[in-house]
Structure 1
Amino acid sequence: MAAELRRLRAAANLTREDVADRTGINNATLYRIEKARARPQKRTLQALMELYGATEAQRTDLVAMQSGSQGQGWLRPYHSELPEEYTAYIGFESEARTVRNYESLFIPGLAQTEPYARAVIRGVLPKASQKEVEQRVQARIERQAVLTKPNPLQLWAIMDEAAVRRMVGGPAVMREQAQHLVRLADEPNVTLQLIPFGTGAHTGMTGSFVHMDFPDAQDPELVYVDTPAGDLFLESEAEIRRYKSMFEHLQAVALGPGDSARLLDSVCRTE
């Protein structure tokens, strides 16, 4: 719905400021709608469709999407509790065809075991209540259903060796996590690579990121970056090209899937 509303506005040759002036819809609200961070109210959607000159077929589709988005699937029980950016990210992830994830310090969320996820969340959010921790753990584990659904997500994850060596939750938790990664790497829709310490400096040292593409070719690709200053969703062609290039570089310097699996196996034996 966000992508379609962006396309309609562009086709009407209107800026967000133009839309705000003509409809009274707050510019920030429009931004959040177009970034899929907020669902438009029916009144807002009707105003936008009218301004953009949407066809009857487009209006029907948008109203259906607006009604369907209210369900939020499995996420609904957690929607009011989780940060808005995180729920937006999960929504994108659930619709994606391919996720390319580089992590420098953590095991990717889609590959985390429950004990590891709990230890990570407690570590990075020391002030979170037990309820908040458990809600985040539950959401993270249920996200992983995208890997086993009938048309599963294609996951390509690259990790720095630090991610599998850092003792999160203790030796038993890390041993179980490494064993899970070994099993996961055998799945046909999952590719795992590790960048060993011996590689030295590499482009991924600037930070983790996720690149997504979607089944519908008209849906723009997306890069997600989690920063201390807030989560970023990047969509410009220049940004997509830059992160694609970074991921290709990381693929080249990382161990191949077979050697990565052997390194993981050695971690299982030593942790």
Structure 2
Amino acid sequence: MDLSARRQPPTVRLRRLAAELRGLRTAASLTREEVSEQTNINSATLYRIETAKVRPQRRTLLALLDKYGVTDETRRNELIDLSKQATQLGWLQAFESELPDEYTAYISFEAEACGVRNYECLFVPGLLQTEDYARAVIAGAVPIADDGYVERRVEARLKRQASLQKDDPLNLWAIMDEAVLHRMVGGTKVMVEQLTALANASKQPHIVVQVVPFSVGAHPGMPGSFAIMDFPETADPDLVYIDSMAGELFLERDADVRRFTVIFEHLRAAALSPVDSARLIREVADRMK
């Protein structure tokens, strides 16, 4: 077994490397079992490499490239460099041991995305939460958590928001159910500040905020929240993230991505326009004062 292959939060680069290696194996007409037998790479390790669970050790990667007949030096160096970059987690490194694996994975993908289409039915999207609102949401959602846990989660959530403020900011399209505006999270003061911040954020050119009003009735977003992440490289397909009481889930099959893209488009059509959404948000905030 290749014990040096270590588990880490998946990154876009690790996901791309896994796809490249799966493609090379398929092109060489080899099964995973055949590669394992002919290279002495443990089949379980090979599976984890091809599913972006671990980054291959350099000698393991070279053995695979040799087996797949990749002789072009430029191509080999591209894949070696991709493997080296696959562990780059930036600020997330400090939180890696404290956050759930799936949430860490989501943050690492989000940090490399060029756009996020997010629908929320219960609370303000994390990228647009104020500090006090985030603290109240996290404490309420995990009632057994101690103060230290809550504060670290709040810190991580606020650091995520830097992606909206960089020179080439993340494009965020956030749609939420009107119920989000009325749920009194953290008390009146916290909610007024949050709704005001939400309305102000919608003025940014890279942020779109829409609200699905109660008057719409039943709509496709009622089963639950989700996010679709878009990446700048065509080699990195869109990814769907679902967070529920049953656990967190990533979907990357074309059929699944298309299904949630269609759902998002229906929600966008059902929601108030960005201008009318901002007006409603401010009206709700004014009524709370």
TM-score (norm 1): 0.91
Q: Structure 2: which amino acid aligns with 1:238? A: A
Between the aligned partners of 1:17 and 1:270, the Cα distance in structure 2 is 65
Q: 1:24 to 1:31 in 2, by over 3 A?
A: closer
Structure 1 19/260 Cα, relative in aligned 2: closer, same or farther at 3 Å? farther
Tell me which residue corresponds to 2:5.
none
On the 8 A contact 1:36/1:88 being kept in 2, the answer is: no
Question: C-alpha distance in 2, partners of 1:89/1:34?
Answer: 19
Letter matched to residue 17 of structure 2: E
Match of 1:112 in 2: 129
1:67 and 2:47 are equivalent in the alignment = no
* 1:241 Cα offset (Å): 0.9
Tell me, in whole angstroms, the C-alpha distance in 2 between the residues paired with 1:47 and 1:131.
45
How much does 1:91 deviate? Answer: 1.1
Select the residue among 103, 106, 109 that pairs with 1:92. Answer: 109
How many residue pairs match? The answer is 270
* Matched ranges for 1:1-271 at <5 A: 1=13, 2-13=15-26, 14=30, 23-27=40-44, 30=46, 33-54=49-70, 55-271=72-288
Deviation per residue, 1:81-110 (Å, 9 max, x gap): 111111111111111111000000011111
Aligned residue type for 2:95: Y
Give the match's secondary structure for 2:222.
Answer: helix
SS at match of 1:203: coil
Higher Rg of the two aligned structures: 2
Residue 210 (structure 1) shift: 0.5
Query: Which is further off, 248-257 or 66-75?
Result: 66-75
* CA distance in 1: counterparts of 2:47 and 2:205, whole angstroms: 38
Given residue 210 of structure 2, which amino acid in structure 1 is its aligned partner?
A: Q
The answer to whether the 8 A contact 2:119-2:264 is kept is yes
Cα 1:155–1:46, aligned 2, differ >3 Å: closer, same or farther? same
- Code of the residue aligned with 2:216 in structure 1: it is T
Q: Distance in 1 between matches of 2:41 and 2:225?
A: 38
Structure 2 unaligned residues grouped into runs of 5+: 1-12
Question: Equivalents in 2 of 1:126, 1:144: separation in Å?
Answer: 24
CA pair 94-43 structure 1, distance change in 2 beyond 3 A? same
- C-alpha distance in structure 2 between counterparts of 1:230 and 1:141, whole Å: 23
1:60 is displaced (CA, Å) by: 2.0
* Secondary structure of 1:138's aligned partner: helix
Q: 1:148: how far off? A: 1.2
1:15 and 1:235 map into 2 onto residues whose CA distance is: 22
Q: Measure, in 2, the Cα distance between the counterparts of 1:70 and 1:148.
A: 24
SS in 2 for 1:247: helix
Counterparts in 2 of 1:7 and 1:39: CA distance versus 1, 3 Å: closer
Normalising by structure 2, report the TM-score.
0.86
Q: State the 1:63 CA deviation.
A: 2.9
What's the offset of the Cα at 1:31?
A: 5.4
Deviation at 1:35, TM superposition (A): 4.9
Q: Is the 8 A contact 1:110 1:143 kept in 2?
A: yes
Deviation at 1:149, TM superposition (A): 1.0
Identity, % of aligned positions:
53
Partners of 1:161 and 1:19 in 2: how far apart? 53
**Structure 1 unaligned spans of 5+:** none
